[in-house]
Every structure is written in C-alpha cells, then in structure tokens.
Chains A and B, each alone.
Chain A
C-alpha cells in the first residue's frame, strides 16, 4: 500500500497531518489540471502539502484541493505566483477533508500484471513493460490517456498527472506509480 504520491516528502520536519484543523488551509483552483500543476511546483520546492478532496460547500463533482500549513501561506502563494500557478482562493480548513483512495489491488495474469486504484486499472506486459491496456474510469480524459499510453513502454510514456486533467486521471497516476514500484 502506498500513500498518495508520497506526499510527505517535504523539506520541513513537522508533519501537518498531526496538526489541528485550524492550522491548515486549502488552496482552491479552477480545475484539477491546475491542482496537479501546483502540486508539482510545491513538491519540487519541498513544501509539505497534501492533495485532498474539497469540503462539501465547494464541491462540483470532479475536484481536488491542496491542503497546506496556514502559517506558510504567504511563502506558498509566492512560490505559486512565481510559477504562474496561483490559486483562485485560499480557505481555512473548517471541516474534515476527504482522503483520496490509497488502496491498491493487483492481479497477476501470468504474462501480464494489472494494478487497480479506485476505479482505474493499468495493465502491462511483464517482459516488455509495455502498457497493454487501461480500463475503468468515467471522466473524459480516460480515453485520451489510453490513447497516449497504450502500446508504449512504461518508462517512455508521460505520467498521467502530466497529461490528465481529472480525478480519474489522478487515480490512474496512482496505479501508474504503484505499477512502477512493483516492476
């Protein structure tokens, strides 16, 4: 089992998951693609953040937010603005946030291996490590991701987080990371 994108690989020592809700805020973006971009920027800079589900009052159906330590708000916003990835707004956390799925299921077909994360399944040919199929999901980037990934070696394809835009794309990213971990 793996936690989401190993999101505690921060340069700071304090683990924000143990802090009180009042210590945390969320960064809200226009769409999931922007969340993924901001996450990449912040992680590259070593910030300790988590990708989470939004609180009920701002949910639209296919969204993520970034949870961050409120004390670092100005520094984090400066980092994002410099990268051209500023959020729409920052909001203090007032209710529990949804945890993304962190349960994986693996199925061994002999010559093929399939990993499932939430509703997304990624299958590779064990010998060549080529992606042979992507199944599951219901958001419109799934057929697009499959188009870009199927038939190519795992090492040569773009990560789903780079070309995906939805939560299904993000779930496929988790399956992709788990597959890379296993192979």
Chain B
C-alpha cells in the first residue's frame, strides 16, 4: 500500500492520517476535502486514479495544512519522527513540505528503523531537504523537473533559488546535469526527470527517454509534475519495479495530457480525469509488447 506525505494549502486543515478518495474535483480524507489544483492533492488524485485501474486500495495520506509558514510541515515531521508510517505500507512518497534539513533527518531515521523499509520517493520540498542533508542516495526515486535537476546538479545550492547561473544555462542539457548530480552524490538511486523529453536514469546513465506525445502547453500547467509523481508512486505501490514504473508513468502522464487537449490555461484536474484511459492504453501496449517478445 502507498503512503503519501504532504501539505494542503489551507491553514486550518488539521493533521490527518487516513485513506484518500476522490470525490468530484476534491480529494477527501476522513471527511475533510481539498480541491485538486496542484501540489499534494493533485499527486493524490492521480494516485487514486491509478490505484482504481490497478485494483489497489486507496493511498494513505499523511496530510496537514501549510501555506508556507512551515508550521504544519513541522507538526507532520514531528508526527512521522515519533510514529514513522504504520500499516502495510510498501512505498512512501514525500512531497510539498517545508524544506528543513534537521526534521528531514529525523524522519529518515525513523523510516530506516522500520522492520521492512518501504520504497522511498521524494519530490518537491522534501527532495530539496534530502539533497541538502547529503542523504539523497538513501532514496529510491527522485522526480525533479529540469529546474530542480539543475539544483540537484549544483553541489553548492541548498535550494533551487540559489542554483548558479552557469548550471541553469540552457546549453547545459539534462544528460549533463544528471551525470553531475550523481557525481556529487546528490541524486536518488533512480531519477525520473520531468521535461521535454522525460528521462529515466540511474548512476549508470539514462535508461529511457520518453518524448511522445508532445504537448508543449504541459510545461505551463501547474500540477502536471505532481500528477506524474502521483502516477509513478501509485505504480510502485502496486508492486512495479521503480525504473519500469517511471517509464510507464511518463508515458501515461503524457498521454493523459494529450487526451485533455491542453492549452497553457488548462487546469490539472482535466488531465487527472484522463489518467484511467491513458493508463489502460499504456498497460495494453505493454502486454502486447510482452507477448511479442515471447514470440
């Protein structure tokens, strides 16, 4: 089962642990609802959709309200460092949390104490803290966009805001940034780099490049990176190996975007709604290819 740790942009949203379902255009956890705009609610919405297709139980959310003051994040960090994650959890995804190196280390320590260490995925603010703490290699998957990849590649930057200009420069393409991130031990075992194209890489290099279908508007739409992370973590939660899940997820997210016929003004919920059809098609093609290989 998948657990997702993150925040909701509502200062009054309490710390809640529970199964997350999708109702209309909202996620719902223990009767509390949050709109699917972007951020962790978008990740969870995508994960719920994937879980439905894969016959998986709903993801378990560890959610709290935080609008950037960090108070909610710190309460969630404290809860996790004291209780870790409970139940039959095989994958944990950390998402929009206030980056805090000290709290990050306490949470990671609690997770490593578990009898069966789950697959660990980090994105967004928690990924920033993981990199800055020097413990990136403890993670199984990071899901940066190209700007965040530049931050991972910059061994001196404690946050993407400080990524040095020579690294951000367009001439320094993703493959060079990936190599640099691994050289300085600032990447997880696997990287799913969101961009045009998407890359799946590890320390040995790039294993897959996913570049079709192309919908240029996707870059401008808030939450499309969150849906991609939601898809990949749900596939991992369903038992698919990390690298394979990353490749499948990149294809599904692109296809879902394509089905939504997006413009730069499209909102992410319209893409979430296309995930089941996109996943069914990608899984169908995978089955077909497996059959062909056997022949």
Contacts and interface: CB of A to CB of B under 8 A. Distances in A.
A and B are partners in one complex rather than unrelated chains: yes
A167 B159 contact: yes
B70 A165 contact: yes
Contacts, number: 190
B220 A139 contact: no
Size category of the binding interface on chain B = 35 or more
B202 interface: no
B163 A150 contact: no
B125 A139 contact: yes
Contact of B68 (A120, A132, A144, A150): A144
B151 to A, nearest CB: 7
Given A60-B102, A61-B99, A166-B68, A143 B127 contact: no
Given A59-B132, A135-B224, A142 B163 contact: no
B68 A133 contact: no
A141 B7 CA distance: 10
Interface stretch (B165-173, B183-191, B243-251): B165-173
B8, B97, B99: most-surrounded residue (chain A CB, <10 A): B99
A92 interface: no
Contact of A171 (B125, B160, B164, B221): B160
Contacts of B164: 99
26 contacts: A33-B69, A53-B161, A60-B102, A62-B98, A62-B125, A100-B162, A101-B160, A101-B162, A109-B263, A112-B264, A119-B151, A119-B161, A121-B219, A123-B220, A123-B264, A123-B265, A133-B220, A133-B266, A135-B219, A137-B124, A144-B67, A146-B38, A147-B9, A150-B37, A167-B159, A167-B160
Interface of A: 31, 33, 53, 59-62, 98-103, 105, 107, 109, 111-112, 114, 116, 118-121, 123, 125, 132-147, 150, 164-171
Given A101-B163, A119-B151, A145-B68, 13 more contacts: A59-B101, A61-B101, A114-B220, A135-B225, A138-B126, A140-B68, A140-B98, A142-B39, A143-B37, A146-B9, A146-B222, A167-B161, A170-B161
